[in-house]
């Protein structure tokens, strides 16, 4: 990996340092960090194009059309068109789907929060994922991608979220509604359910797999 992976933090209340630090520790990768929801996207101008971009989750909603959201979506679409790999997580999953013309809305009309752990099933071979394999991810979300954008494929599904994972047919992008980046700090701060040791282990391992597939793709790209 010649250039770092840019971590784009969209968190509102507090930064996701622990998620980034866990990723660095697990994979020993160079990174740059950009808290765009607080400071805008200008820090992305201060680095050369990264080898890849990972867009973290957010308490905000893409339909708020906040200035930083609009700027980030435009920039990420431009990066994809330059063939630079991007992975979207939760809000990042929704942001890219939205900029490519999809509909994002509440999972349930009453704005129910979906939290805990969810098992995803892969539907096609792509980006290192194998059809019919299953893995667990931590989840915490009110919104989801409702329609597959034009030019995308349905990568993974689950009982509660039909478009749990998507990927572009030709551009280097995939995303999940779940949180593969979740650290212990993230889980303790966002998920109030009581989870067994095995459930936690499975979700951390599932997240590790998703991140590894992206890093492997970036290294081979």
Q: How far is the C-alpha of 93 from the C-alpha of 178, rounded, in Å? A: 9
Nearest to 161 by CA among 126, 191, 119, 217: 119
Q: How far is the C-alpha of 174 from the C-alpha of 214, rounded, in Å? A: 8
Q: State how far Cα 71 lies from the chain centre.
A: 18
Q: How far is the C-alpha of 18 from the C-alpha of 39, rounded, in Å? A: 19
181 is an active site residue: yes
Q: Which of 34, 93, 168, 179 is catalytic?
A: 179
179 is an active site residue: yes
Q: Which of 10, 19, 34, 181 is catalytic?
A: 181
Place of tokens 């494929």: 153
Q: Which of 10, 41, 90, 161 is catalytic?
A: 90
133 is an active site residue: no
Question: What are the residue numbers of the active site?
Answer: 90, 179, 181
């Amino acid at each position: 990996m010649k250039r770092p992976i840019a971590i784009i933090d969209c968190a509102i209340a507090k930064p996701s340092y622990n998620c980034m630090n866990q990723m660095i520790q697990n994979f020993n990768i160079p990174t740059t960090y950009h808290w765009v929801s607080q400071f805008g996207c200008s820090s992305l101008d201060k680095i050369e194009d990264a080898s890849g971009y990972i867009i973290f989750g957010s308490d905000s909603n893409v339909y708020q059309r906040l200035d930083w959201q609009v700027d980030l979506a435009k920039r990420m679409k431009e990066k994809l068109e330059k063939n630079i790999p991007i992975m979207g997580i939760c809000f990042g999953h929704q942001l890219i789907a939205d900029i490519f013309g999809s509909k994002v809305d509440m999972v349930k009309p009453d704005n129910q929060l979906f939290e805990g752990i969810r098992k995803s099933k892969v539907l096609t071979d792509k980006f290192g994922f194998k059809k019919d394999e299953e893995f667990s991810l931590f989840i915490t979300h009110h919104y989801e991608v409702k329609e597959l954008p034009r030019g995308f494929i349905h990568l993974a599904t689950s009982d509660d979220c039909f478009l749990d994972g998507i990927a572009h047919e030709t551009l280097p992008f995939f995303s999940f509604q779940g949180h593969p980046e979740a650290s212990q700090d993230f889980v303790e701060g966002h998920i109030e359910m009581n989870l067994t040791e095995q459930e936690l282990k499975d979700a951390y391992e599932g997240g590790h797999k998703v991140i590894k597939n992206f890093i492997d793709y970036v290294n081979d790209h």
